[in-house]
């Protein structure tokens, strides 16, 4: 699971050699650890108007060192470009070019975040807003040293300082978003609130994680626990020994359960409520692959992948939506996959199921809205797990490098995105798909 | 009215749940696992299921029948290796195959008396990792050697060694006072009660079918945690048939004159495994938001004089159960689930035959006639040792956790909480039996059956 190449080109002789030969030099990403500062160095807030002022004030209230104008040669932790008021494509030029020279001053692991509005309005406004999309995605590809660029898209009537806009801004600036690059998050409502303790955003919450015995699921369980949640770790009975290890490591409870059982949703609710008194978050992570070219696909391979990866999620959601125990700002986060967006040879069944997850999330969002709830999907790209470690060397090496960060992500990177969406500050984001892929070059 | 001898102040001891690792045939998946490894794994699974990390449990009691001398503090060492608070006290107990059930009864009684609020009972055995001792001759020489002070003394002692002293002393399950193995003892009893080969094979077949069906239904999903790649008991043969069982050659009782009937199919194999049961007072369970599946009502031990042939080696429960039920004002007809440990199919069938025998009832049990008939549809309904295997000290915990869940699922029977009877025979002519009841709030022990 270790990326030997990345280690080699980041130290001593290997580093010099890679530089001289022009080989890819994946940087060591800035990842979150409890207690660390939100970002290293001052943050430049570009753009003008009430939106930019509001964001600058929010950053100041977080104790950050804020600049409204670039100080030549000063190292910057991040740049926030507030473009919420652009009305025509020409409006982009001034704020963007004013901030541009500062890109050279970004520290390794620096952050660029755009704040703009969902395309709409007059043709001219829509063009300006959509222009931010192309701008940000290209800019993200220009950043080096593990720096990333991401954007926040505000719905028409949402303030740049709405809880989830600030929640997303915090997420993007922090080490929690290390492997999220070139992505937009859409804030569609003013729901949600900033956590009282930024290092324990899930304090007091009870979260269920399916497929928690190993890999990404185990990382999700550990991350939610680190962020303050009490975790119910769910996996098939046959994975019970690994599951017990995970649960015992995070003072959670293990629930051995086949999620394809008809009563799985009921069992999950009962366990959470009886043992922990409540249920706030459900993370649908359990998934399987049964790869085969479609021409060679059989019923068992197709059927089991669809049933585990999307059928079970739909049935469990039905039980959750019907339960009076899942009505207090509930959160559902489902794990999708970039395979479901860009497609992957040999994975028609898997991609169908993961595409299904994204469709399900979009259609379920309105159903949760009346309880102040949200549902979102996180789509991992190439993540270093036991599963991807079995991919043949050459294929794996290519898959790893095919993104702007030139490396695979870690299970923890996926878990961080899920924890963000599961928290109070994610409440204004619903029906969205957030990719954790290092800006994978395939599938947009 | 309270039952005789039970002070009205006693509390309820409830079974919260259990956890075991799948049982493995000796020489299989757990060949390299020690008793301590397996007991720790069973504990960790229980801790994960019930969220007991860093919890100070009142007391943990467990034991093993085949034990290395280094395992003198086996249970405490397993606790220290588990996710429980290291401030959890523990002790070892051993009563041959009744070890597991006796830990349940002893701890339940402490809970009932208010000495403990929570406890974990358990047991473990490995026939794969069995201790091998040095011969008596070598042992004496080694001990004398350690006390010798001079070189000539040491040489003199070493000169006593003979080649035969170097052969190790392998463990065996023979009875020290008769030299007969357990199987040979049971063969005598099986023949005495005229138990047919067909009846024994049928019981074995039911055990496998019932256990397989329980696995298929997901019954064990919250009773088991996989271990070392094993997710089900490796002895289980879901596809066994009367024909297959009939082909097996008898292995015990071949020198009795009568037809030998006991085969590897209707006798339990040597097995490795571990089990645990979480017990608690009602308040402790409620305070920890944990379920209360069943109440441990009562227990009884008995022993028989098998040395002089008065009774069969494994027939002690035949005497213990009538005493237990009489004390609680119950008959066999009141019991909803019978869990009679299947050391051998012949053991269970001999027990049932003795209870159905009028002469035995009058002369040996002091009753007016036969003790009664066990409704076979209530016997070992989710399988027992013939299918699951029998890691000696772990069997009691397996049965109690299984029965507690069955009682909980059944709830009431005829307007009262469902009742379950556990019967475990043990080496040395002993037997321990216990009475459990589906948990129901409000009633106190003693005023239930008046």
For chain B, the domains span: 136-169
Question: Which of A325-329, B162-166, B339-343, B384-388 shows the lowest mean pLDDT across its residues?
Answer: B162-166
Does any domain span residue A372? yes
A247 and A166 share a domain? no
Residues 6+ apart with CB under 8 A from A163: A190, A191, A192, A193, A194, A424, A425, A427, A428
A153 and A216 share a domain? no
Chain A residues inside the 8 Å CB shell of B48: 233, 243-245, 247-248, 252-254
A261 and A158 share a domain? no
3-class secondary structure, A112? strand
Put simply, the chain A residues between 357 and 376 with a CB less than 8 A from any chain B CB are none
Whether A21 shows a pLDDT value over 90: the answer reads no
pLDDT of A14: 75
- What average pLDDT does this structure show over A298-307? 96
pLDDT of B213: 98
Query: End of a domain among A187, A214, A240?
Result: A187
Chain A residues inside the 8 Å CB shell of B20: none
- Domain range for A174 is 31-187
Test the B interface: residue of A241, A253, A277, A325 with most B CBs within 10 Å: A241
Q: For chain A, what is the domain count? A: 2
Does any domain span residue A86? yes
pLDDT of A85: 94
Whether A228 shows a pLDDT value over 70: the answer reads yes
Provide the CATH number for the domain around residue A131: 3.40.50.720
Query: Å from B419 to nearest chain A CA?
Result: 25
- Burial classification of residue B309, based on how many CB atoms lie within 10 Å of its CB (0-12 exposed, 13-18 middle, 19 or more buried): exposed
Q: What is the pLDDT of residues B47-92, one digit of tens each?
A: 999 999 999 999 999 999 998 888 899 999 999 999 999 999 999 9
pLDDT of A443: 46
Q: Does A238 touch chain B (CB under 8 A)?
A: yes
Whether residue B48 and residue A239 make contact (CB cut-off 8 A), yes or no, is no
Q: Which of A5, A32, A350, A371 is catalytic?
A: A350
Residues 6+ apart with CB under 8 A from B83: A248, B43, B44, B47, B48, B52, B53, B54
Q: Which two tokens stand for residue A260?
A: 């394809």
Interface predicted TM-score (ipTM) of this complex, two decimals: 0.87
Does any domain span residue A388? yes
- How many Cβ atoms from other residues are within 10 Å of residue B325's Cβ? 22
Q: What is the pLDDT of residues A199-227, one digit of tens each?
A: 999 999 999 999 999 999 999 999 999 99
Test the A interface: residue of B43, B51, B53, B409 with most A CBs within 10 Å: B51
Whether A375 shows a pLDDT value over 60: the answer reads yes
Verify whether residue B408 is a known catalytic residue.
no
Check: CB of residue B102 under 8 Å from CB of residue B432.
yes
Of B48, B218, B224, Cβ closest to residue A248: B48
Whether B44 shows a pLDDT value over 60: the answer reads yes
Q: Does B107 touch chain A (CB under 8 A)?
A: no
A177 and A217 share a domain? no
A232 and A108 share a domain? no
pLDDT of B173: 66
- How many Cβ atoms from other residues are within 10 Å of residue A348's Cβ? 20
Put simply, the chain B residues between 272 and 301 with a CB less than 8 A from any chain A CB are 289-291
End-to-end Cα spacing for chain B? 6
Of B45, B227, B289, Cβ closest to residue A274: B289
A210 and A183 share a domain? no
Q: Does A245 touch chain B (CB under 8 A)?
A: yes
A168 and A236 share a domain? no
pLDDT, chain B, mean: 93
Q: Rounded to an integer, what distance in angstroms lies between the CA atom of residue A356 and that of residue A362?
A: 10
Q: Which residue of A has its CA nearest to B50?
A: A253
Test the A interface: residue of B221, B224, B289 with most A CBs within 10 Å: B221
3-class secondary structure, A67? strand
Whether residue B51 and residue A247 make contact (CB cut-off 8 A), yes or no, is yes
Of B45, B54, B231, Cβ closest to residue A238: B231
pLDDT of A355: 96
A132 and A243 share a domain? no
A140 and A91 share a domain? yes
A83 and A166 share a domain? yes
- What average pLDDT does this structure show over A42-70? 95
- What average pLDDT does this structure show over A341-352? 91
Does any domain span residue A18? no
Q: Which residue of B has its CA nearest to A254?
A: B49
- What average pLDDT does this structure show over A109-120? 96
pLDDT of B4: 53
Whether residue B54 and residue A251 make contact (CB cut-off 8 A), yes or no, is yes
Predicted confidence band of residue B21 (pLDDT cuts 50, 70, 90): very high
Q: Does B232 touch chain A (CB under 8 A)?
A: no
Does any domain span residue A201? no
A115 and A220 share a domain? no
Q: Does A251 touch chain B (CB under 8 A)?
A: yes
Whether A34 shows a pLDDT value over 90: the answer reads yes
Does any domain span residue A442? no
pLDDT of A2: 65
Predicted confidence band of residue B1 (pLDDT cuts 50, 70, 90): very low
Q: Which residue of A has its CA nearest to B223?
A: A256
pLDDT of B363: 96
Does any domain span residue A170? yes
Q: What is the pLDDT of residues B220-256, one digit of tens each?
A: 999 999 999 999 999 999 999 999 999 999 999 888 8
Verify whether residue A350 is a known catalytic residue.
yes
Q: Which residue has the tokens 């043992």?
A: A275
A177 and A303 share a domain? no
Query: Å from A257 to nearest chain B CA?
Result: 7
Of B50, B227, B290, Cβ closest to residue A241: B227
Q: Rounded to an integer, what distance in angstroms lies between the CA atom of residue A287 and that of residue A354?
A: 9
């Amino acid at each position: 699971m270790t990326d030997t190449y990345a280690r080699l080109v980041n130290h001593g002789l290997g580093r010099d050699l890679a530089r001289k030969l022009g080989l890819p030099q994946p940087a060591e990403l800035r990842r979150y650890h409890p207690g660390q500062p939100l970002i290293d160095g001052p943050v430049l807030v570009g753009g003008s108007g009430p939106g930019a002022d509001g964001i600058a004030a929010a950053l100041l209230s977080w104790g950050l060192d804020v600049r409204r104008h670039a100080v030549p040669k000063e190292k910057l932790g991040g740049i926030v470009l507030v473009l919420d008021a652009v009305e025509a494509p020409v409006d982009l030029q001034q704020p963007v070019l004013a901030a541009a020279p500062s890109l050279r001053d970004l520290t390794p692991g620096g952050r660029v975040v755009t704040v703009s509005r969902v395309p709409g309005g007059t043709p001219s406004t829509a063009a300006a807003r959509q222009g931010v999309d192309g701008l940000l995605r290209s800019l993200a590809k220009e950043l080096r040293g593990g720096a990333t660029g991401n954007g926040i898209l505000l719905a028409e009537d949402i303030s740049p300082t709405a809880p989830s806009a600030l929640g997303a801004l915090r997420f993007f600036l922090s080490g929690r978003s290390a492997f999220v690059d070139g992505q937009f998050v859409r804030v569609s409502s003013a729901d949600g609130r900033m956590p009282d303790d930024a290092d324990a955003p899930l304090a007091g919450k009870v979260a269920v994680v399916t497929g928690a015995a190993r890999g990404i699921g185990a990382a999700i369980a550990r991350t939610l626990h680190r962020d303050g949640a009490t975790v119910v770790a769910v996996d098939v009975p046959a994975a019970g020994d690994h599951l017990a290890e995970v649960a015992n490591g995070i003072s959670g409870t293990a629930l051995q359960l086949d999620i394809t059982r008809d009563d799985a949703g009921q069992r999950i609710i009962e366990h959470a409520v009886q043992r922990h008194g409540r249920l706030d978050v459900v993370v649908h992570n359990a998934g399987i692959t049964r790869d085969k070219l479609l021409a060679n696909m059989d019923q068992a391979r197709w059927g089991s992948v669809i049933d585990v990866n999307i059928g079970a999620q739909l049935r469990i959601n039905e039980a959750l939506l019907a339960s009076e125990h899942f009505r207090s700002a509930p959160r559902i986060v489902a794990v999708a996959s970039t395979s479901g967006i860009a497609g992957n040879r040999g994975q028609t069944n898997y991609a169908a199921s993961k595409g299904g997850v994204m469709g399900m999330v979009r259609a379920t969002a309105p159903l949760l809205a009346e309880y102040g709830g949200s549902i979102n999907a996180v789509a991992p790209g190439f993540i270093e797990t036991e599963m991807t470690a079995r991919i043949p060397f050459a294929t794996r090496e290519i898959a790893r490098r095919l993104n702007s960060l030139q490396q695979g992500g870690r299970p923890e990177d996926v878990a961080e995105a899920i924890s963000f969406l599961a928290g109070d500050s994610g409440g204004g984001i619903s029906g969205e798909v957030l990719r954790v892929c290092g800006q994978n070059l395939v599938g947009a | 009215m309270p039952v005789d001898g039970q002070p009205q102040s006693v509390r309820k001891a409830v079974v919260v749940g259990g956890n075991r690792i799948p049982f493995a045939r000796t020489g299989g998946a757990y060949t390299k696992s020690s008793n301590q490894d397996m007991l720790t794994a069973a504990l960790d699974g229980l801790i994960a299921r019930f969220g007991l990390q860093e919890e100070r449990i009142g007391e943990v009691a467990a034991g093993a029948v085949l034990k290395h001398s280094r395992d003198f503090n086996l249970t405490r060492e397993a606790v220290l290796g588990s996710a429980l608070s290291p401030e959890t006290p523990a002790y070892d107990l051993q009563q041959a195959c009744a070890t597991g059930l006796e830990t349940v009864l002893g701890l339940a009684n402490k809970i009932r008396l208010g000495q403990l609020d929570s406890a974990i009972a358990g047991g473990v055995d490995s026939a794969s990792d069995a201790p091998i001792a040095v011969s008596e001759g070598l042992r004496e020489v080694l001990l004398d050697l350690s006390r010798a002070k001079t070189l000539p003394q040491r040489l003199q002692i070493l000169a006593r060694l003979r080649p035969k002293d170097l052969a190790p002393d392998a463990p065996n399950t023979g009875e020290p006072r008769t030299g007969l193995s357990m199987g040979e003892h049971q063969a005598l009893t099986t023949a005495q009660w005229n138990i047919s080969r067909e009846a024994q094979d049928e019981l074995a077949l039911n055990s496998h079918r019932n256990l397989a069906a329980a696995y298929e239904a997901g019954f064990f999903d919250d009773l088991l945690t996989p271990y070392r790649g094993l997710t089900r008991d490796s002895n289980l043969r879901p596809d066994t048939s009367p024909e297959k069982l009939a082909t097996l050659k008898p292995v015990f009782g071949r020198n009795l004159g009568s037809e030998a009937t006991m085969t590897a199919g209707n006798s339990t194999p040597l097995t490795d495994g571990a089990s645990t049961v979480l017990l608690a007072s009602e308040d402790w369970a409620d305070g920890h938001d944990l379920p209360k599946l069943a109440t441990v009502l009562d227990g009884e031990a008995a022993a028989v004089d098998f040395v002089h042939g008065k009774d069969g080696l494994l027939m002690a429960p035949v005497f213990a159960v009538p005493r237990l039920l009489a004390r609680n004002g119950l008959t066999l007809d009141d019991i909803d689930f019978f869990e009679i440990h299947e050391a051998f199919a012949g053991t269970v069938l001999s027990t049932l035959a003795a209870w159905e025998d009028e002469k035995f009832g009058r002369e040996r049990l002091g009753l007016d006639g036969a003790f009664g008939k066990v409704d076979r549809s209530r016997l070992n309904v989710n399988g027992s040792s013939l299918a699951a295997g029998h890691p000696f000290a772990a069997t009691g915990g397996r049965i109690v956790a299984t029965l507690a869940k069955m009682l909980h699922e059944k709830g009431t029977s005829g307007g009262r909480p469902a009742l379950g009877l556990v019967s475990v025979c043990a080496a040395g002519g002993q037997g321990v039996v216990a009475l459990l009841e589906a948990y129901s709030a409000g009633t106190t022990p003693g005023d239930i059956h008046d």
